[in-house]
Chains A and B, each alone.
Chain A
Amino acid sequence: MTIDSEKISPVQPIRSLRVENLEKQYVKGKPVLNNISFEVHGQSSVAIIGPSGTGKSTLIRCVNKLIPPTSGNVYISGENITKLTGKDLRHARRKIGMVFQEFNLVERLSVMENVLSGRLGYVSSWRAWLRKYPQQDIEKAFELLESIGLIDFYHQRADSLSGGQRQRVGIARAIMQEPHVLLADEPTSSLDPKTSVEIMELLIALSKAHQIPLLINIHDVELAKRFTTRVIGLSKGGIVFDDSPEKLTNNHLKEIYGGEEWLQ
């Protein structure tokens, strides 16, 4: 897959995500996430790995405050969004693209409507109702659909597509936001191995083309090692590994996931 970067977006100033001492407790005294700090900027791709229930999804949702963190700060390109509410929060969320495990498309709407829904943070509800998007958004949507190979499907309903195609639409929707950071919550877990690789390739390519830092929750360690430039290992709510994928050894994996019988 080739992404023509110049066609899609001009080079932007460095985009970044900084998470500072993030903590989340659903029940008081039982933190799910504990003192999480890291920073991602430019065209880098970071995989978050860790066993189920260790707070990967919580972490990624704390970044855009779909789940409010208990304490700590999140900075998007330097702006602290932790204290924002209402309209300010909505405006901050426009800068955070998100891709979901189960695609989270509006099944009964067309592919085009789903892609353009990435712009809903920028248009009024009235215009959204009438589907009156600015022409440049529409052009951008067509270009994106072309680049991800779904141009022929733009008028079809989202539920007529295959899993891989739907995830592409989900990714296009996130890119439409022109985000400063792209979050992906298990983007390949509902897909077959071949499609998973294609989706990872697409995410990495778009991250590079648009200079958007990419944060991916993923439970497939091999896929993470193959595609990302950095791996953060999460265990029991804390970071136990944060380095390049080559440095990730079986000992680290043992520490992250526990046990060793599975490591063959």
Chain B
Amino acid sequence: MTATPLPQKRAPFRINWWARAGWLAAIVYSVYAANYLDVSWSRFVDGIGNGAVFLGEMVPVDFSRWKLLIDRLVETIEIAIIASAFGIFFSLPIGLLAARNLMPYWITWPARTFIALCRSFHPVIFAILFVKAVGFGPLAGILTLIFASIGFIGKLFAEAIEEISLKPLEALRAAGAPFMSVIIYAVLPQVLNRFIGFSSYQLDANLRNSTMVGIVGAGGIGGTLFAAFQRFDYDFLAAILISIIALVMISEFISTQIKKVFQ
């Protein structure tokens, strides 16, 4: 039997050597960094022992100070809701001004810069700045989350507006409609659903973030959490963590319901 010669093998795909080199470099660097930072298996096993002790001290969960807990939770929710309301309120015009399909560049440029500034810092950094600026308490937390909201949904609003169809705008302009009427009649209906989606998502995010700004003294349950932690009050700490989980789950549920209503 004679073997018929196979046709010459042809490669159907090009090999991307740059991508392969990139993956290799990423793996090599990860191993190097782990070594450098002393992340090792024995260190991890030690850590697990510590963690078990820590978890042990959390039970039984201590809900005896529930009044303080509720008080702080309410403050947390207030911070989130007020910040969301103002954040969304300011994001609407800023997002519109940042939309490059409707506005000339000398308006979008400053609006986009402002949004970028709001995005550039993590809420914790904003919170530290505002605690220094306006003092301890919920006001600092509210201001923090307003800026965080503008940075996030301002950008999303602008992008949603940039994706609309310009055809109805042309028609209304041709009919002599004033600029604001064009916005109300031709832009808003095209973006309203998405705006509501973004807004309820931001309310959700603000609720989570408002549990955290208290750590640096900007009001809400974060402060209580941090204090309990520092006093080794781990059973109370567990109560706080459980409350935060409950809060976030409820908010998630509510935001899903809001979106359903406006579908």
Contacts and interface: CB of A to CB of B under 8 A. Distances in A.
Same complex: yes
Interface of A: 64, 66, 90-94, 96-98, 100, 102-109, 113, 117-118, 120-121, 123-125, 128-129, 170, 173-174, 177
B189 interface: yes
Contacts of A92: 176
B250 interface: no
B185 A64 contact: no
Given A117-B185, A120-B181, A96 B190 contact: no
B171 A93 contact: no
B167 interface: yes
B168 interface: yes
B176 A91 contact: yes
Interface in B168-187: 168, 170-178, 180-182, 184-186
Interface in B28-86: none
A87 to B, nearest CB: 8
B189 A120 contact: no
Contacts of A123: 181
A98 B181 contact: no
B177 A120 contact: yes
Interface in B97-113: none
- Dominant SS among interface residues on chain B: helix
The interface centre, meaning the residue of A97, A107, A108 with most chain B CB atoms within 10 A of its CB, is A108
B170 A66 contact: yes
Interface of B: 165, 167-168, 170-178, 180-182, 184-186, 189-190, 192
A90 B178 contact: yes
Contacts of A170: 171
B113 to A, nearest CB: 28
Nearest to B192: A108
A92 B175 CA distance: 9
Given A102-B167, A108-B190, A125 B178 contact: yes
B189 A108 contact: yes
A98 B174 contact: yes
Contacts of A97: 175
B175 A93 contact: yes
A90 B179 CA distance: 10
A100 B178 contact: no
Nearest to A91: B176
Contacts of A102: 167
Contact of B175 (A109, A120, A124): A120
A120 B168 CA distance: 13
A104 B181 CA distance: 16
A124 B176 CA distance: 11
19 contacts: A98-B174, A102-B167, A104-B167, A104-B170, A104-B171, A105-B168, A106-B186, A106-B190, A107-B189, A108-B189, A108-B190, A108-B192, A117-B172, A117-B185, A120-B178, A123-B181, A125-B178, A128-B184, A128-B185
Contact of B181 (A109, A113, A128, A173): A128
A177 B185 contact: no
Contact of B174 (A66, A105, A125): A66
A125 B189 contact: no
Q: Which of B165, B167, B170, B171 is most buried by chain A, counting CB atoms within 10 A of its CB? A: B171
B175 A121 contact: yes
A96 B65 CA distance: 72
Contact of A177 (B165, B176, B178): B176
- Which of A96, A109, A117, A177 is most buried by chain B, counting CB atoms within 10 A of its CB? A117
Given A128-B177, A128-B180, 17 more contacts: A64-B174, A90-B178, A92-B176, A94-B176, A98-B171, A98-B175, A100-B171, A103-B167, A104-B167, A106-B168, A108-B189, A120-B182, A121-B176, A125-B178, A128-B184, A173-B171, A177-B175
Nearest to A120: B177
